[in-house]
Amino acid sequence: MSLASLPENKATYRGDIDGLRAFAVIAVVVYHVFPRWLPGGFCGVDVFFVISGFLITCQISRREISFVSFYTRRMRRLAPALLCVLLATVVAGMFFLLPNELSTLGMACFAGATFLSNFFSWQTQGYFDRSASLQPLLHLWSLGVEEQFYLFWPALIALSRRNAISLAKVTLATGLVSFAIGSGCAFLSPATDFYLPFSRIWEFMAGAGLVLGEHGLDRLSPRWRAASGVGGLLCLLIAVFQLRQDWFFPSPTALFPVLGAALVIAVGPETWLARHILSSRPARWLGSISYPLYLWHWPLIAYEHLIHGVSHTHRSTGYAIITISVVLAALTTRFVEAPLRWKTPERRTVIGLLSALAVTAALGLTLRAWPGHSTALGRDTPGVNLEKINLAEQNGIFPITPHMRVEHIQGLTVGIIGSGPEAPVLFTGDSLLFQWGPRVDALFTQGRLKRTIIFISGPSCAPLPVEKPQKDFTYCNAMPAVQDLILAKWPVHTIVMGALWERVFGPPAEWPTKKIKAEKRLRALSENGQRKIVFIMPTPISPRFDPAHMVTRHFTHLSLDKDTLQNGVPLAPMMAEHATITSFLTSMAQDTGSSTLDLTQAICGSVETCFPLMNDGTPKFADQMHLRPDFTQGLTSGLDDILIRPTP
């Protein structure tokens, strides 16, 4: 996220680029705090990459500074704020992180201090994973990409000079190769596409190309400049408001923010947009603190997630995070970055900063190897493992299992496990149905699965066409068509349905109308009784099942929900909440010749109390209702009769 400093010659300073920095950092910060406001705000990083490619190429290709001076400036620009954030993040983590979390933070600190965070994140989690929002230094991946670019690009410029090769041709070829690599990785390895520099270089090359093609750009008429500026702004707005994390990002959909940033830079500082918006005093000021603002905002968000759980941030909390981030960024710029960058002896400062980074990296490795601080929480609570609870909190809830062959049809996930001779079984529904995939996979691994199991699922997708999906889940409307497609292709004998039934059927007043629609569909699916249909009945739901609520974090200590962990949650109140919908589903099953399956006792282990932990202290649940793969894969009762019994 860091940016190359502008040339010191004030005649070449462009305030509109500082304004573009402000746009980029606003997009990223708002996306991280309020993702629904700017769902594509993560592309602000790509805007920074374009700016970096432009500015660095300006400096080096025109021989404004030497290579030695360039790297000296980089160190004085990047290291002061980075050191502040790394040390503050580690100190804060020592107050209330669990041992395994502190160990992970130590490794992340080492990676950040050595500018290798993108490789560390590539090996540990995807940027959009649930666990990523709990990693206080995840955001340093972009700093790693930029630093690796700073090593690669000046060397390539020097090589082209030495061999009298056109730098414009080198830039074009490098960009095309990088874009091709990124596009391939988008399909084969999205994490590689996101984190590694090889698939990101083309974004920097877009900025570099503006410098090398400046003579052509200078001939643009004012009218074309104005139109191109507006076009660039539209591309940027489309990107931050319309891009989604699963749209093959960054390749090729990052073309929108990259093209937008390139156009805004290309048209120069004299357009109306540049003079009155991007070069305005507030925009230039925010752009001047964009680097430390980026560094500070994410650790605050991650610690807020660790304390209060991974959910949508409360509006007042979000405003507080943004305000604190801006204040810290301004203070860092004024009292740390500016003095070390401009007012201290160059050689002594660089040596000191390099030494400080080395010490910080060593501190990170020490934390990584530290066996962990003792805590009184677990000593008087037998059977409770704090680290397993913590790891469960970070795990996702929609697992694609190792032996599942997956394709996406009309937005829905179709997963197939096994290929045995027995008649196939179709599982269809939302995430509460898809959570049973690990059990099917376990039976396949054990050699006990003698049939093909097919899953048709999507988050919040009902197996029956009685629910109007919300705006973000319109793909669920394809469920009947995809079911029919699979049934036409496979000789399915049994259909298993599962969902959050209370959401599917809505208020009881709507049930009579929806029941008619549901029964009509059920008769079509069963072919009037030739196929068997099984409803998985509602299972217990409680906030006390959520691993994030088992350990409560405070700034100075941790507290444990010992009552839930040792005594479980009484079943009677939970089952009473489901009684009405359970009765309704039972009635509908009887009317259509279907059957029901109640897995409550198999999950809870008791008829009176639901225990949220397995025997080894690992949580059964990923949140208040979804079961974890570690638990479902070992659940031997309930579904196994359907999965492994011979076809009659």
Task: Give residue-wise pLDDT tens across range 375-409.
Answer: 445 455 556 777 778 777 666 666 688 899 999 89
In the predicted model, is pLDDT for residue 261 greater than 80? yes
Q: pLDDT tens-digit profile of 315-361?
A: 899 999 999 999 999 999 999 999 998 878 888 999 999 999 999 99
Percentage of the chain surpassing pLDDT 70? 92
Rounded to the nearest integer, the mean pLDDT of the chain is 88
Q: pLDDT tens-digit profile of 496-513?
A: 999 999 999 999 999 999
First vs last Cα of the chain: how many Å apart?
62
The least confident of 177-186, 246-255, 574-583 is: 246-255
For residue 613, give the nearest of 646, 574, 557, 564 by alpha carbon: 564
Using an 8 Å Cβ cutoff, are 129 and 123 in contact? no
Strands (E), 492-642: 494-498, 532-536, 551-553, 558-560, 569-570, 595-597, 609-610
The least confident of 74-83, 210-219, 349-358 is: 210-219
pLDDT value, residue 130: 59
> Cβ-count burial of 374 within 10 angstroms (0-12 exposed, 13-18 middle, 19+ buried)?
exposed
Query: What value does the mean pLDDT take over residues 361-369?
Result: 92
pTM of the full structure: 0.75
In the predicted model, is pLDDT for residue 439 greater than 50? yes
pLDDT, greater one: 471 or 488: 488
pLDDT value, residue 556: 65
Q: pLDDT tens-digit profile of 554-564?
A: 766 677 888 88
The least confident of 243-247, 294-298, 381-385 is: 381-385
In the predicted model, is pLDDT for residue 479 greater than 80? yes
Indicate the DSSP class of residue 314.
Answer: P
Query: What value does the mean pLDDT take over residues 227-246?
Result: 91
In the predicted model, is pLDDT for residue 635 greater than 90? no
pLDDT value, residue 6: 39
pLDDT value, residue 504: 95
pLDDT confidence bin for 535, thresholds 50/70/90: very high
In the predicted model, is pLDDT for residue 8 greater than 50? no
In the predicted model, is pLDDT for residue 373 greater than 50? no
Q: pLDDT tens-digit profile of 126-145?
A: 555 556 778 899 999 999 99
**Rama region for 568: left / alpha / beta (φ>0; ψ in -120 to 50; rest):** left
pLDDT value, residue 132: 74
pLDDT confidence bin for 369, thresholds 50/70/90: confident
Strands (E), 324-387: none
pLDDT confidence bin for 565, thresholds 50/70/90: confident
Using an 8 Å Cβ cutoff, are 379 and 419 in contact? no
pLDDT value, residue 32: 94
CA 171 vs CA 149, 179, 212, 220, 271: distances in Å = 13, 12, 9, 22, 27
Using an 8 Å Cβ cutoff, are 112 and 140 in contact? yes
**Rama region for 240: left / alpha / beta (φ>0; ψ in -120 to 50; rest):** alpha
pLDDT confidence bin for 163, thresholds 50/70/90: confident
The least confident of 91-105, 263-277, 383-397 is: 383-397
In the predicted model, is pLDDT for residue 641 greater than 50? yes
In the predicted model, is pLDDT for residue 200 greater than 90? yes
What secondary structure, in 3-state letters, does 157-187 show? Answer: HHHHHHCCCCHHHHHHHHHHHHHHHHHHHHH
pLDDT value, residue 257: 96
pLDDT, greater one: 467 or 398: 467
Domains assigned to the chain: 14-369 (no CATH), 386-644 (3.40.50.1110)
Q: pLDDT tens-digit profile of 36-74?
A: 899 999 999 999 999 999 999 988 876 666 778 888 989
